Structure formats: C-alpha cells, structure tokens
Amino acid sequence: MTPHAPEEDFSDADIEVSEPKTYAAGLGGVFHSMEPALTQMGLARTVKLMTKINHKDGFDCMSCAWPDPDHRKIAEFCENGGKAVTWEATPLKVERSFWREHSISSLEDKTEYWLGMQGRLIEPVYKAKGSDHYEPIGWDAAYALIADHLHALDTPDEAAFYTSGRASNEAAFIYQLFARVLGTNNLPDCSNMCHESTGTAMTHTVGIGKSTVAYKDFEESDLIIIMGQNPGTNHPRMLTALQEAKERGARIVAVNPLPEAGLIGYKDPQRVRGYVGKPTQIADQFIKIRSGGDMALLQAVSKRVLDAERADPGKVLDHDFLERHCDGFEAFAAHIDGVDEREVARATGIPVSEIDELAERYLNADRVIICWAMGITQHRKGVDTIREIINLLLLRGNIGKPGAGASPIRGHSNVQGDRTMGVWEQMPDSFLDALGAEFGFEPPRAHGVDAVHGIRALDQGKIKVWMGLGGNLLGAISDTNLAESAMRKTRLSVQLSTKLNRSHVVTGEEALILPVLGRTEIDMQVSGPQYVTVEDSVCAVHASHGQIAPISDQVRSETAIVAGLGHATFGDRHGIDWRAMMRDYDVIRDHISRVVPGCESYNEKTRTRDGFVLPNGPRDERRFDTDTGKAHLTVNELEHVECPPGRLLLQTVRSHDQFNTTIYSLNDRYRGIKKGRYVIFVHPDDLAELGIEDGQSVDIFSEWRDEPDRVLRGFRAVAFPTARGCAAAYFPEANVLVPLDSTALESNTPVSKAVVIRLEPSRSPAGVGRPAVV
Ligand SMILES: Nc1nc2c(c(=O)[nH]1)N[C@H]1C(S)=C(S)[C@@H](COP(=O)(O)OP(=O)(O)OC[C@H]3O[C@@H](n4cnc5c(=O)[nH]c(N)nc54)[C@H](O)[C@@H]3O)O[C@H]1N2
Ligand SMILES: Nc1nc2c(c(=O)[nH]1)N[C@H]1C(S)=C(S)[C@@H](COP(=O)(O)OP(=O)(O)OC[C@H]3O[C@@H](n4cnc5c(=O)[nH]c(N)nc54)[C@H](O)[C@@H]3O)O[C@H]1N2
Ligand SMILES: [Mo]
C-alpha cells in the first residue's frame, strides 16, 4: 500500500464512545503499535528500527524518559514508542508543491493531527513579510537572514530561544552557548510547562531537582505510590517494572481522579501469559482523589505518621536520619498537628478510611518510592505539594536508601539532559562561570524569560526574534488565542522541526522553518557518522545512534544547524570555533566535560555500552546540597481549589494516541473513545446535577478573575467515572481555556490540571470544538 497523507481533516462526526478499559497493553497493544508502522514504513524499515529502539548500539526512544533496565528485551519498546518512531520515520514528505498549494492562512483551519500527518519537512522554507506563502530558501541564506535580524536588535534580550525536550545533549549545549554568546539568558523550555514545579521544590528541599532513585530501586521497593501520572499511556514500559515489583510482593497505590486503565491492571505484551492470561492487578489501593487534593492527602498521611510515633515513641520515625541529615522537623511537626481533617475531606473528596489505609501501608513499608508527574506539577500549589511528598519520605528515611526515594517521572526523552546542559533561563552562577572560562567570554547574568513570561514579552512587543529548537510552543502553552496573537507581533520566528505543527502556521512577520534530522536517522558529518547523548529520568546518560538514511539530503542535524548559525552570526568572535563543533561532536563533548558538573571525561564515558550515571548527592551518599547542607522538612500552608457551585474543575490530559501536541490517531482506546477528540469527561452524577445528558453537546466556559470567559464550543459531554466535581478534556485543544496568568506559585508552570469551568448546552452540534472568546 502506498502511504499517503490525509487530504481531508477530521471531524468528530463518526465518534464512538464505549466503556473505559480496566487494564493496559496486552495483545491489543502490540497490534496497535505495529499497524501504522507496517502500513507507513514497510516491513524492512519497521524491523530494523523496532529492534534498535533503546538497545545499547541503537537509538534512544523519543517517546518518554523512562529508564532502560540492564537486561534489555529483543523489543525494548512499547506501543507508544512504536507510534513515536513511526511518526518520525515515515517516508512521507512535505514536497515543494505543498507550499505552493497551501497558503499559510489556509493552514490555520487545520488540526495538529492533519498537519503532523503531512509527512517530514525536507527543505528550509521562508515566509517574507506580508507574504501568505512559505517558499524554499537555501541554508546559507537562512542563516544570514537570522544573523541579520539578531544583529539589528537593540539588546540581545529581544531574542528568545525555546527548547523542547527531544533535543540531544550536544544540540542543547551548543544552543545555550549560542544564546549566551549573543548575550541573553532567554532560554524558555518545555520543562517550564512540565516538571518545573519538581525542580523548584526538590532543589530547595534536597538540593537537586532530579529523581533520587535508580532503576534498581524499583526492584527493591516495598511500596510504590504513583501520584498524578498515567503510565499506561505515557510511560508504558514502567508497567513492566510495576508488574515485576508486584510479583516480588511490593504494594502499589495509585492516586488519581481518573481510573486510568494502566493503573488498574496490566498484561505484558512481551510475555506469553500477556496474550492469554488474566491481567496483573497493578494498584492495591486506588485513591480517586479530587483534582488538587494531593497536598491535603499528604499532610493527612504525615499527621498519621507523627501520631503513630507518639503512640510508639522511637519506633516509627527514622530518628537517626532526621537528626543527622534533616532540619525543620519541629516546625513541620507543629504545623502538621494543626491539619484540619474537615478541610482534608473537602480537598480530597475521599473518606477518612482511605487515608488511614494509605498511612497504614506507608508505616508497614521499609522502602517507599513516590512517583509523580503532571497531575501534581501543573497545579497552583504544585511546588508545595511536592515539598509535602519530600516531607513524608524524609520522616522515615525514605531518601538515599535502596528501594526508596522521590521519583519524578520526566516527560520528553531528554528534557532532563537539556537542563543538565544549561538550557534554563536561570542557570546558577557556577555554571555560567565555567561556561565563560571555557569559551573566553562573560555570559549574561540576569535571568531570562520562561515560557509564560516569554509569551507575555512577545505580547508586549519586547521580543523581536523567537526561535524554537523543536517543539510546538503555540500548541503547548496555555491561552492559545492570546499566545497566537502574541507570536504574530514578533519580527522573525524560526522553528527547527521534523514535522509541521501549529507553530509553523502562526508566525512572526517573517518566518523560517528549518528541517531537522530525527533521532532514528544517521547523522553524517565531515568526520563520519555522529552519535548524540541523552539523560533519562534516573540520571543515566548514554549514546543514541541513528540507524536509517535521512529523509532527504537537505535536512540537517540540530547540532549542525546551531553551529552553522553560530558561525554565520559570530564568525570567530571570542575564538569560538563553531565549525569544529559541527565537524565532530567529540569537540562539543570535550567542552561539556569541562563545563558541566559530573560530565568529566564525557567522550570516554558515553562511548561505553552502558554509558554512565550522573552523580546524585541524596541518592549516592545522603548528601544534601541545600543552604544548610541538610534536607529541609518544610511548612506549607494548605490550600485547595475552591470551585463555586455549579462549576467543575477541568484537567487537560493526553489521550492514548498522542504525544503532547502530536496526534497519532483520533482514538483513546483505554478511555473508550474512538474517532474523536472534542469530548469532556464528567461524572454521571455531576452531569445529572447540571441537567446535562450524556452525549449532549456543550459549550465550556473557563472563568478567570474579571476577564471575559474563555470558551470552547460544541464538545460532547461523556459520562465517565472520574472523581466528583472534576472533568477532563484533551490537551492541546483545551489549552484555549487555561488562562496565561494561572500558573503554579514559584515555578510559574501553567495550571493545566485545575481550570474552573461551567458547562452550558451548546447550539453547535457535538464535535465542532471551535474555540471562541465571548
Ligand atoms: N505516549 C505518550 N507518552 C508521553 C507523552 C505523551 O503525550 N504521549 N508526553 C510526555 C511528557 S512531555 C510528559 S510530561 C509525560 C506526561 O505524563 P503524565 O503526567 O502521565 O500525563 P498526563 O496525561 O498529563 O496525565 C496526568 C495524570 O494525572 C492525573 N491527574 C490530574 N490531576 C490530578 C490531581 O490533581 N491529582 C492527582 N493525583 N492526579 C491528577 C490525570 O488523571 C492523569 O492520569 O509523558 C511523556 N510521555
Ligand atoms: N493544557 C496542557 N498543556 C500542556 C500540557 C498539559 O498537560 N496540558 N503538558 C505540557 C508539557 S508536560 C510539555 S512537555 C509541553 C510540550 O511542549 P513541546 O515540547 O513544545 O511540544 P511537542 O508537542 O512535544 O512538540 C512536537 C513537535 O516537535 C517537533 N519535533 C519532533 N521531534 C523532533 C526532533 O527530533 N527535533 C526537532 N527539532 N523537532 C522535533 C515536531 O515538529 C513536532 O510537531 O506541553 C505542555 N502543555
Ligand atoms: Mo512534559
């Protein structure tokens, strides 16, 4: 079958809604992952790529940052990894004729699904001021154009350089160098919208913004608590680790407003039993919490731990650990004593017995891991909630011992590595000092803009050049309508991308799309084929080798593009040899080894088959690099989202067939949705109270301060067993409803998991899903 891109865009006209599933993967998982690969890529390409994913001589799967076990299976990937690879390695191309046939404004009506399905971008294209078309442009001309724009700025802070977490360490390092040589720390990234709350909370309390567990800790833990994460869809290989943990007797607790299939049960597609047997029960306890109730839950559990210590002095807390390694205990304990159980009940929406049960499980376990993801970070009190996770772990010494720890599960496959390499608008002076010393220049010190402040700055006309190293900021950021009008105000927008998305359609006055090599492809430079390096969720760094020929001889690697741009913009300013870094990535890695802490001998260490694990104070030696040298127990004022009567708390989630703003198909198998995305999941009793029928078309109004309501029209209400008072809709569509100023305290992460909404019967038929501002 010859692959072809869809000509028509989708609608929800044929949507099918059925009962949600109660277990993940199994035969369906394998089938679903191979089907698109086979039809789009053909058998030979499929086998070649699928047997190289996450292998030691292969490439790193770009679908998530879940770590690799030491013993890899023949197929060390999951259904959704298969989809990510297929999406990138498709032979479909956006040909020159596409740009002639489609004006930019005609693409504005297209969905992310349609845009992404057009195929790979294969040559640089340029949109001139006033033009409604992209046209081919040569690489050198593109570099010169960007350099001219940068030289014309009044200050370097009029430029901003966004990064998405798929960039390799080499690309990220050279990119942040480029920005800082120009003279700005404007390095917003996807992490600002993702695990920023984690970084803020953990750096403050334990001195490092990363997981304190290694892969083997999952093999040694007694209790794993999974909060605000949907691993069955977003980190499917984690289910294998959870299943193995269950089989050796560990207990698992899931805390989530949605009964996610992968948290309930699992059939391993790579075992014979996975095809025919019964699913393994995953969660021993499923706490169906109200959105944003986690902070109250954690405080209530800590209270029970302190009460247990009082009842049995000296036996419950890890006194030795608390005395030697922690401070802040007295103030913390006094504060927790005052926790108001009625407020906890209101915030969590669960009975006391469930909290007692969780506390019991915590007290009975010697080694506890707490994992979390977006259901925790993307809340106004996300940072405080994570500090409460740390409090609870510290009480019984559950950090820095085998089988225990705090484990944020990262999103993008290299989002953690990009940060390690300096992609952050607020890198510490120690990093900037080392960077300046290595390259002989004085890096800027003032903090730059993050993603939300970047949109604000664009809106105020303060940013004249916006560049994106991957990603799709306009699809990913909150307040779509505002963000888009902000982007249109800039002079030049530049995207380094594999495939089309919204950020290519809504642009600055002038715009460039620079097509990049994907991770599956061989990266050939003057000195030979290059490998790149990445860091996973548990700080393991290893090499990734491209496997197949590039989609076109016109695409360039991200590293080569940034190096080319560096040369075009700066020549040999400060004696920096950009072209040497392009010719041989070892040169970049040598720089990394002298600038980035923990990366000494980076070339040698990343050439070994296993790579290496970055040092981690809490994990390795219970060393806490905080201001006092001790881990802090902290006092966090309880606050939960008040939802006025008749309103619901909307969270925005990923379907099973998408990767962030990339939509692979219109199905969400585990939640029982097929051929549609414009749905809102609401508890049947809430629907009844609101007088709305299951299946009825509704308009969704987001209420924020005294601003006009943000609206999505014509969504189908779907009765769903979520927690009472809560609702869920898919991101990126629902981003229209998230106010730009609604961000987490301290981390400034958009509050994508708690939008106060009201529903009204719609005059549009269900499935229209058009955003509008009233
Ligand atoms: N296939 C696939 N893999 C991915 C991605 C993808 O889009 N597709 N994205 C990648 C990225 S960048 C990231 S960051 C991760 C995201 O991984 P997740 O964080 O798992 O992604 P979300 O879909 O946002 O799911 C959030 C979960 O938190 C729950 N939740 C929402 N609000 C609350 C709350 O208040 N409390 C609690 N306890 N739970 C809550 C939701 O019901 C949902 O189950 O996945 C990565 N991997
Ligand atoms: N409402 C709501 N909004 C959210 C979230 C949410 O849960 N709810 N989640 C947030 C989170 S956790 C994140 S991480 C962000 C994600 O924000 P981003 O990382 O900006 O978005 P992605 O959708 O992952 O980016 C997809 C695009 O990346 C490009 N791409 C893919 N592979 C490559 C590559 O190898 N190189 C290059 N250069 N480009 C490539 C393709 O052009 C593709 O269209 O979204 C955030 N936004
Ligand atoms: Mo993310």
Q: What are the pLDDT digits (tens) for 576-596? A: 999 999 999 999 999 999 999
Q: Supply the pLDDT for residue 4.
A: 74
Q: What are the pLDDT digits (tens) for 526-563? A: 999 999 999 998 899 999 999 999 999 999 999 999 99
Q: What are the pLDDT digits (tens) for 636-690? A: 999 988 899 999 999 999 999 999 999 999 999 999 999 999 999 999 999 999 9
- pLDDT beyond 50 at 27: no
In order of their start, the domains of the chain are 93-193+414-616 (3.40.50.740), 196-408 (3.40.228.10), 648-761 (2.40.40.20)
Q: What are the pLDDT digits (tens) for 293-332? A: 999 999 999 999 999 999 999 999 999 999 999 999 999 9
Query: What is the mean predicted confidence (pLDDT) over 613-625?
Result: 97
Q: Supply the pLDDT for residue 40.
A: 67
C-alpha of residue 191 to centroid of ligand 2, in Å? 10
Query: What is the mean predicted confidence (pLDDT) over 25-35?
Result: 57
Q: Supply the pLDDT for residue 36.
A: 57
pLDDT over 90 for what percent of the chain? 84
Contact 26, 279 (CB under 8 A): yes
Cβ 497 under 6 angstroms from ligand 2: yes
Cβ 518 under 6 angstroms from ligand 2: yes
C-alpha of residue 621 to centroid of ligand 3, in Å? 29
Which residue, judged by its Cα, is nearest atom 2 of ligand 1? Answer: 234
Query: What is the mean predicted confidence (pLDDT) over 467-481?
Result: 98
- Which of 408, 410, 407, 409 has the alpha carbon at shortest distance from 399? 407
- 406 vs 25, residue with greater confidence: 406
User: Nearest bound ligand to CA 413?
Assistant: 1
C-alpha of residue 495 to centroid of ligand 2, in Å? 13
C-alpha of residue 297 to centroid of ligand 2, in Å? 31
Which residue, judged by its Cα, is nearest atom 30 of ligand 1? Answer: 375
* Atom of ligand 1 minimally distant from the CA of 165: 12
C-alpha of residue 230 to centroid of ligand 1, in Å? 5
210 CB neighbour count, 10 Å cutoff: 26
User: Nearest bound ligand to CA 559?
Assistant: 2
Query: What is the mean predicted confidence (pLDDT) over 472-495?
Result: 98
Displacement of CA 292 from its chain's centroid (Å): 19
C-alpha of residue 259 to centroid of ligand 1, in Å? 13
Element (H, E) at 567: helix 558-570
C-alpha of residue 212 to centroid of ligand 1, in Å? 20
- pLDDT beyond 90 at 223: yes
| Of 291, 372, 661, 748, best ligand 2 pocket probe by most atoms within 8 Å of the beta carbon | 661
Q: What are the pLDDT digits (tens) for 366-412? A: 999 999 999 999 999 999 999 999 999 999 999 999 999 999 999 99
C-alpha of residue 523 to centroid of ligand 1, in Å? 32
Which residue, judged by its Cα, is nearest atom 23 of ligand 2? Answer: 661
C-alpha of residue 412 to centroid of ligand 3, in Å? 6
C-alpha of residue 650 to centroid of ligand 2, in Å? 21
Q: Which residues line ligand 1 (CB under 6 A)?
A: 63-64, 80, 194, 227-230, 233-235, 255-258, 260, 289, 291-292, 294, 373-375, 379, 411-412, 651, 653-654, 658-660, 753
Which residue, judged by its Cα, is nearest atom 47 of ligand 1? Answer: 234
| Of 163, 455, 493, 498, best ligand 2 pocket probe by most atoms within 8 Å of the beta carbon | 498
Using the CB atoms, write b or e for 175-207: b if 16+ within 10 Å: bbbbbbbbbbbbbbbbbbbbbbbbbbbbebbbb
Q: Supply the pLDDT for residue 425.
A: 98
Average pLDDT of the chain is 93
Cβ 514 under 6 angstroms from ligand 2: no
pLDDT over 70 for what percent of the chain? 95
Q: What are the pLDDT digits (tens) for 166-206? A: 999 999 999 999 999 999 999 999 999 999 999 999 999 99
* C-alpha dihedral (125, 129, 133, 138), degrees to nearest 10: -20
* C-alpha dihedral (590, 594, 595, 596), degrees to nearest 10: 80
User: Using 50, 70 and 90 to split pLDDT, how confident is the model at 73?
Assistant: low
- 83 vs 479, residue with greater confidence: 479
Q: Supply the pLDDT for residue 298.
A: 98
Q: Locate 103 and state its tokens.
A: 């004006």
- Which of 682, 663, 670 has the alpha carbon at shortest distance from 731? 663
User: Using 50, 70 and 90 to split pLDDT, how confident is the model at 9?
Assistant: confident
Which residue, judged by its Cα, is nearest atom 42 of ligand 1? Answer: 258
Element (H, E) at 348: helix 341-348
Which residue, judged by its Cα, is nearest atom 4 of ligand 1? Answer: 234
C-alpha of residue 167 to centroid of ligand 2, in Å? 11
- Which of 211, 566, 540 has the alpha carbon at shortest distance from 405? 211
Indicate the pTM of the whole model. 0.96
Cβ 752 under 6 angstroms from ligand 2: yes
